Structure 1
Amino acid sequence: MPRDNIYALPRDQVGSFQFDDHVAEVFPDMISRSVPGYTSILSVIEQLAERLVQPASNVYDLGCSLGAATTLIRGKAPADATIYAIDNSEAMIRRLRDQLAGYSQTDTASVSDLCDVIIQQQDLCDTEMSNASMVVLNFTLQFIAAEKRTELLSRCFDAMIPGGGLVLSEKICFDDPAEQDLLAELHLDFKRACGYSELEIAQKRTSLENTLIPETLQTHISRLQQAGFQTVTPWFQCFNFVSILAIKSR
């Protein structure tokens, strides 16, 4: 796994964070060292897929990056389901296509027992969805303009069949300044423990300032309820990172 050292050297100007080739190359290392509990979230997404994904239904991994969730869901989904892995990053989509093509060539027998994966480079806000039994937004919504988030979640709900579920994982902020400062500092301690230097932390924070816009947990819960989900339950939190499960009633 290539190590993330994108911000290891000082820069005269730190531009906005982009999911380009440099990030795609080191993304597994970057996210595992930046998001506490990321592996646990993926493990539960795999577990939920076994419960949620219905035969002959669709799964949408929105903001799929390199397909970590897609791969795990595929191992649990019925063979007649279809997974749509969608991302607007050309670099991520190209690597995911190469990865799946390589896996198909080396293990043809196993692949024949798995459901189809359709990979699309597309703006998530333009994605058409239907017959969905599971939708995953794993640290994706925070990169979408705030004014477009409600509409996207409403479209996810409208496309979902009864009994389907949506997993929303996000970095969050807090109304209470003391709570915000404490959990933000604990997150920085986590990154330091994972080997990031103060320079790397500072430069990446600058690059994300106007790109990743966090909201409060209650904002996410209210938005999912407004979209129509009858059951909305936060199931994971580590510092300022959460994951929420929303279910459409049968």
Structure 2
Amino acid sequence: MKHNPDRIYATPQAQVSDFAFNEDVVKVFPDMIKRSVPGYPTIVENIGVLAARFAQPNTRLYDLGASLGAVTQALRRHVRTDGCRVLAVDNSAAMVERCREYLHAQDSMYQELLPVEVLEADILALEFQPTSLVAMNFTLQFVAREERQPLLARIHQALLPGGALILSEKLRFTDAAEHELLTDLHIDFKRANGYSELEIAQKRSALENVMRPDSLEEHRERLLAAGFSRVVPWFQCLNFASLIALP
């Protein structure tokens, strides 16, 4: 499918609206995420690889905040465990519609893929079924802070022994100098991918009220408080990281 270039913030806006996963973002999302998140393709593909280790027969695999279904596609490429099904959940109608189109295209390219259901829903209201694998790829940072631990506790309750939560997030850093350095390097990354100073500044303004990153220490403490026994960072590139949380 054709991917449009991200030019959402390329012209000056008198009032920058809060970022939303609307139709405009959906149209450019593959380009936006690739140019904005260092290591994104590596994270996505390896979530599929990791999932193949934790997926258990006849269980549901969750992709929470599925957006266009990149993680779901990776799960379907790599998991060969009998009887597994994927539930891809997102609260954006525009994302869900396009996700279904992408997954239909994947069906035509590969055979014997895991069955998948794409659901438009709020993950905070989701009733989790027993699961061996939950993926949250840059999703928790958009959830209100007071809702994060209760959500993780519910995920932990649904996870079967031997399962895993894979959590990818943008990080903030408690050391001011470290935070400034990695923030500046991330801006350099976006410049290198063709974003202008105007685009970078306006995107930052759009996100500041809707995306609130945590530190690695906060993630670890919250996951342990939610009942997880071990938290293992498996990937970091600049201020973006992915963790494996074990029940």
Tell me if both proteins adopt one fold, taking TM over 0.5 as the criterion: yes
Distance 1:99 1:229, change over 3 A: same
Tell me what 1:121 maps to.
120
Q: Partner letter of residue 150 of structure 1?
A: Q
Q: CA deviation at 1:228?
A: 1.4
Q: What is the percent sequence identity of the aligned residues?
A: 49
Asked if the contact 1:56/1:81 (under 8 Å) is kept, the reply is: yes
Matches within 5 A, 1:175-194: 175-194=174-193
Runs of 4+ residues deviating >4 angstroms: none
Gaps of 5+ in 1: none
Q: Distance in 2 between matches of 1:102 and 1:241?
A: 29
Asked if the contact 2:73/2:106 (under 8 Å) is kept, the reply is: no
Q: CA deviation at 1:76?
A: 2.3
TM-score, scaled to structure 1: 0.94
Matches within 5 A, 1:5-84: 5-77=7-79, 78-84=81-87
Q: Distance in 1 between matches of 2:223 and 2:20?
A: 27
TM-score, scaled to structure 2: 0.96
Q: Distance in 2 between matches of 1:46 and 1:15?
A: 34
Q: CA RMSD in A?
A: 1.2
Q: Distance in 1 between matches of 2:187 and 2:175?
A: 18
Q: Partner letter of residue 4 of structure 2?
A: P
Superimposed CA distance per residue, residues 92-112 of structure 1 (whole angstroms, 9 cap, x where no aligned partner): 0000112223444x45xx44x
Distance 1:238 1:102, change over 3 A: closer
Matches within 5 A, 1:191-210: 191-210=190-209
Superimposed CA distance per residue, residues 169-202 of structure 1 (whole angstroms, 9 cap, x where no aligned partner): 1111111111111110010000000000000000
Q: CA deviation at 1:79?
A: 4.5
Q: CA deviation at 1:50?
A: 1.2
Superimposed CA distance per residue, residues 207-242 of structure 1 (whole angstroms, 9 cap, x where no aligned partner): 001000011110001111111111211111111111
Q: Aligned pair count?
A: 244
Asked if the contact 2:69/2:102 (under 8 Å) is kept, the reply is: no
Asked if the contact 1:129/1:159 (under 8 Å) is kept, the reply is: yes
Tell me what 1:136 maps to.
135
